[in-house]
Structure 1
Amino acid sequence: MNWYIKGLKDYVNFNGRARRKEYWMFTLFNIIISVILSLLESVVGLAPFLTTIYSLFILLPSLAVTVRRLHDTGRSGWWILIGLIPFIGGIVLLVFACLDSELKENRFGPNPKWDENFN
């Protein structure tokens, strides 16, 4: 849960790097919350109002953590636009998100995994 809250706090931070753990834990909690809201809406019989509001709320933090994850793999944040290509773009972003971090430091800053483990 700390990774999710960290992602929400850094909602406008498109600089720096995000390790795989930060990205995937943020994504996991996003999915869990979305599923719970969808189930709640279907049980109560509501229109998808709650999930729409949540999706709008989480849009900017999701973009920020994805850009920071791309930075961690040594790519520009502009690579996020490849996700606009149907099917193939999503697969490319998935592969990029799964790749390991670049070593100690790259042009986007120090490796957060290195700082956490060795400082």
Structure 2
Amino acid sequence: MDKSIFEEFVDYYIKAWQNYTNFSGRARRKEFWYVFIINLLISFVLGIFQETFLGVIASLVSIIYSLAFILPGIALSIRRLHDTGRSGWWLLIGFVPIIGVIVLIVFFASDSQPGPNQYNADTMV
């Protein structure tokens, strides 16, 4: 039986938290973007709470969540770069203003390298 789209989103999000120290292997494009969307939604909701009625409490929760997701986000990004056949060191290009972020978006949106590569076997999901 196929999973609902909501279940897929949640499964990938939980998987990202479980693999927060796994900097090897590969992450499919779908996995990366599903986690990105959920993270964006959580940040958006926390931002709304921060601006409306919870103020300081929501700010604290938002900061804690952002700090907590740094490591899983980096690990997932490196695995995504591995899936496209690139080294995780390419993540550092994000520090180059504007151009670096655009390059990373292109890399993250690129299709997976078919078959095994130097980082692992193909992770068809």
Task: Give 1:26's aligned residue.
Answer: 35
Matches within 5 A, 1:6-45: 6-45=15-54
Q: Describe the superposition over 1:29-56 as per-residue Cα deviations: whole angstroms up to 9, x where unpaired.
A: 0001101111112222413222111100
Residue 112, structure 1, aligned to residue 123, structure 2: yes
Q: Describe the superposition over 1:51-101 as per-residue Cα deviations: whole angstroms up to 9, x where unpaired.
A: 111100100000000000000000000000000000000000000001000
1:64 pairs with one of 75, 92, 104: 75
Matches within 5 A, 1:59-98: 59-98=70-109
Choose 60-69 or 34-43, whichever is displaced more: 34-43
CA-atom RMSD in angstroms? 0.9
Report the secondary structure of 1:31's partner residue: helix
Structure 2 gap ranges (5+): 1-9
TM-score (normalizing by structure 2)? 0.88
TM-score (normalizing by structure 1)? 0.92
8 A contact 1:20–1:98 mirrored in 2 = yes
Whole-angstrom CA distance in 2 between matches of 1:68 and 1:29 = 18
Task: Give 2:60's aligned residue.
Answer: 49
Report the secondary structure of 1:36's partner residue: helix
8 A contact 1:41–1:50 mirrored in 2 = no
Q: How many residues align?
A: 114
